[in-house]
Amino acid sequence: MRVTKFSIVRSRATMVVAMLLILALPAVAVAGLLGGLLGVVGSVVGGVVGVLAPPVSGPGPFVLRFEPTKLPEHVHLESADATFLAN
């Protein structure tokens, strides 16, 4: 058998394709497992959010307004916490 430049290139290309297949097949399997896990987690989170925060019906848009609150008098902040909150 005669070794030519073409046969060397062809054998290298075959080796590269074989290595890509060896590396790609487990990656596809892992991606499938992660996709399935993501679907399960998404459905669980969607169910919990649906129970805790049911959809609001009525005319929209809705505006949420937050009002500042005072801490109860029995709550005392340490000086480090007060400095942090002041900044």
Domain boundary assignment for the chain:
1-47
Give the pLDDT band of residue 26 (cuts 50, 70, 90).
confident
pTM listed for this prediction: 0.33
Region 43-64: mean pLDDT is 74
Residue 60 φ/ψ, nearest 5 degrees: -120, -175
Asked if 46 and 55 count as a contact pair (C-beta separation under 8 A), the reply is no
pLDDT of residue 9: 82
Task: Report how far apart, in Å, the C-alpha atoms of 39 and of each of 29, 36, 57 are.
Answer: 15, 5, 28
Alpha helices in 1-87 (DSSP H): 5-52, 79-86
pLDDT at 79: 53
Query: What DSSP state is assigned to residue 59?
Result: S
Cα-based torsion angle of the residue sequence 23, 24, 30, 35 in order, rounded to the nearest 10 degrees: 160
